[in-house]
Amino acid sequence: MNSRNHLAFLLIFFTTIIFHPYTTSSSSSSTTFHFPTLSLQNLSLLGDSYLRNGVVGLTRDTGVPSSSSGTVIFTSPITFLNPTTNSTASFSTKFTFSIQNPKGISSSGDGISFFLSPNNHSLGSPGGFLGLVNSTQLTKNKFIAIEFDTRLDTHFNDPNDNHVGLDINSLNSIKTADCSLIGIDLKSGSYITAWIDYWHDGNNLKVFLSESESNKKPIYPILDVDIDLSLYFQEVMYLGFSGSTEGSTEKHFVTNWSFTSFGIRHPKPRIGNPHNVSDDTVAKNPAIEVPNNVGDRNKKHKKIGLAVGVLGPVFFCSVLVVFGYVSVKKWRESKMDMNIQAELLTGPKQFSYKELKVATNGFHSGRIIGHGAFGSVYKAVFVSSGATAAVKRSKHSHEGKTEFLAELSIIACLRHKNLVPLQGWCVEKGELLLVYEYMPYGSVDKVLYQESGHWGFLKWNHRYNIAVGLASVLAYLHQECEQQVIHRDIKASNVMLDANFNARLGDFGLARIMDHDKSPVSTLTAGTMGYLAPEYLQYGKATDKTDVFSYGVVVLELCCGRRPIEREPGGHKMINLVDWVWELHSKGAICDAVDKRLNKEFDPDEVRKLLLVGLSCANPDSEKRPSMRRVLQILNNESDEIAVPKMKPTLSFSNSLPLSIEDIIVSSLDDDEEDASAKASTNANLTVPVIRIDG
């Protein structure tokens, strides 16, 4: 939009706001509000919803497939039922919404809904649950909803992927209507206006849809249901919108909203009514009272008109000056937006399945360079450009799909020099594929343990820089992102090395996003044994401090060249790396833990510092672990070292694991030894002895 058009737009917009501001009014019997644009003054956002430039987005705006759900709710409860007079409200609402996909991408699902709910804090699951119900508790949330569904979900008896339906406490619609019958495609990206009218006296609900620019209410409804909603109304209820996606790039927006309710009767006071007779009638169209002193009011109106005629031009000129200032400011901001858009255009692209299949030689087993819980990783060479990439191919399972969507939606929004750059993605032919920049030296795990020809290149300065780079990216994820990212699977095999031996963190399949300072939610434990913090094993609560513990273990690996848990040479006793280093520290010989393969070619002060950082991060007491920002400051000589106790702290829990850690490790070793040859042939990143406990 050029500056001239922008000025005209602002002039029209602000004139509309000044002379027709949004209004909200309520009484004991009715509620009315009108929002030409939306703001947080009267709305609450839940889940992934957000407000941008007066428009509410209900799901994530990532440009890549993701699973997401969000809700926006009018903050004030509205009366729908008066049990004393046994009267029920009628209501009418109008709003404009748009369901969009990025240009050139067709990835529909799942839609939005307008709902009434007895509570203002429920948030449903992504996907076909439309953000209305929880996937594990389908009957918990109570609601009356009009759904605008863009995905055919046979589980809920959907007729097609372009319909409107009435839902009451269930996603199996009471009645549906095909939007294509009136020439509307819900996912076309156009702005669609909806009207929903419920008339209690007639026990009838109607839904109208229009895609025309005139925004005129159609004569005939698309959905017409005879139903008595008073059976489902609570005394007060909340209004709102919800939306969801699952493996989709679909975005859901609500741009304006108005609502009115009427028809609630209240008992009349007894004073002045000796017969105590109440009026039980409700007019469908309330009469407009005509005042007696019409002439006096006309005179007043003429005076007001004269004043407006004189002061109007002065006020209008003042407004133009303000508009000019705002226009210049917005023009500068638009230049910044164009730069941001240009940056996004260079981000992850959508590859075709054919392109990736050719690049990986038909996903040939000889191209496999690693394995993980997600699936297999292939080396891809693009013939057209000669570029090399790494392609992660998902397992064909629900878990694989969940990890794929988590990794794609999270890492596509992240920008840091110590992350493995995401180049693109592909969802085609039932395949879930992620394309990453190729890391020529593979993982730290591979360089340290698997390929003896490489470890000689991993000098001490490389190892120290890897620890610094990993600390830097974790500080970014924990404290510098808009929402905190908990990786949940920090380990040597997920820290990749580029051509200059810089650390690049990858594999976000188990990562979780949460708001800063929000209490963690208990989940199934996920990660790799040996890297899991004790409190995470016990309670299943992943926090930034559980990532810090895993980081500490990786740092000790870098210094010592030993796995987190390994069998004692020539024996059956298991050695825990953290315990082993802490024991040397208690003897005042912590530097004896350094990797002997370094041939004493290292800085003793740096070795001591890094080992102590590793122990402080791996402290069993999560409260004593430093933040990753503090760790980075210590490694960069910007902060003093943390005092590490000579004896390793011990913790006790009220509940015990169903199986001891030692039993789990021994069982894992026995199983791994039986198929060691099979694992060796795949050059797996996850090498024995480790256990994955995935949630």
Q: Give kind and range of the element (H or E) at residue 472.
A: helix 460-475
C-alpha to C-alpha distance for 548 and 613, rounded to whole angstroms:
10
Residue 326 DSSP SS3: helix
Residue 687 DSSP SS3: coil
Q: Long-range contact list for 606-612, CB < 8 A, 24+ apart?
A: 606/460, 606/464, 607/460, 607/559, 609/634, 609/635, 609/641, 610/463, 610/464, 610/467, 610/555, 610/558, 610/559, 610/635, 611/555, 611/556, 611/559, 611/581, 611/585, 612/585, 612/641, 612/642, 612/644
pLDDT at 569: 76
pLDDT at 512: 78
Residues carrying an active site annotation: 489
C-alpha to C-alpha distance for 301 and 685, rounded to whole angstroms:
82
- Residues of the chain under the 70 pLDDT cut: 1-29, 103-107, 213-214, 268-316, 327-347, 372-374, 395-400, 451-457, 515-527, 652-695
CB 92 within 8 A of CB 195: yes
CATH for the stretch 23-262: 2.60.120.200
Taking residue 223's Cβ as centre, other Cβ atoms within 10 Å add up to 20
pLDDT at 441: 87
C-alpha to C-alpha distance for 234 and 211, rounded to whole angstroms:
33
Encoding tokens for residue 547?
A: 């990532």
CA atoms within 13 A on the CB side of 520: 19
Which residue shows structure tokens 């590859």? 351
Q: What pTM did the predictor assign?
A: 0.63
pLDDT at 668: 38
CATH for the stretch 444-680: 1.10.510.10
- List phi, psi (to 5°) of 654: -70, -30
C-alpha to C-alpha distance for 114 and 62, rounded to whole angstroms:
23
CB 436 within 8 A of CB 390: yes
C-alpha to C-alpha distance for 632 and 544, rounded to whole angstroms:
15
Encoding tokens for residue 629?
A: 């920002």
**Could you give the residue range(s) of every CATH 1.10.510.10 domain in the chain?**
444-680
C-alpha to C-alpha distance for 511 and 493, rounded to whole angstroms:
16
CB 45 within 8 A of CB 72: yes
* DSSP bridge partners of 99: 252
Encoding tokens for residue 385?
A: 């450009």
DSSP state at residue 663 = H
Which residue shows structure tokens 């987005």? 57
Find the largest Cα–Cα distance for the chain. 109
Q: CA geometry: angle at 214 spanning 98 and 146, to 5°? A: 40
pLDDT at 227: 94
The pLDDT tens digits for 5-15 are: 554 544 444 44
C-alpha to C-alpha distance for 185 and 250, rounded to whole angstroms:
14
**Could you give the residue range(s) of every CATH 3.30.200.20 domain in the chain?**
349-437
What CATH fold (topology level) applies to the domain 349-437? Phosphorylase Kinase; domain 1 (3.30.200)
| Residue 159: alpha-carbon gap to chain centroid | 29
395 is in an annotated binding site: no
pLDDT at 309: 62
pLDDT at 469: 96
- Identify the sign of the CA torsion 127, 131, 137, 143: negative
- Identify the sign of the CA torsion 377, 383, 388, 389: negative
pLDDT at 241: 96
Query: What is the distance in angstroms between the CA of the first residue and the CA of the last residue of the chain?
Result: 47
Of 184, 192, 131, 132, the residue nearest 162 (C-alpha): 184
pLDDT at 33: 93
**Could you give the residue range(s) of every CATH 2.60.120.200 domain in the chain?**
23-262
Name residues whose C-beta falls within 8 Å of residue 192's C-beta, 6 or more positions apart in sequence. 96, 97, 98, 99, 184, 186, 209, 210, 211
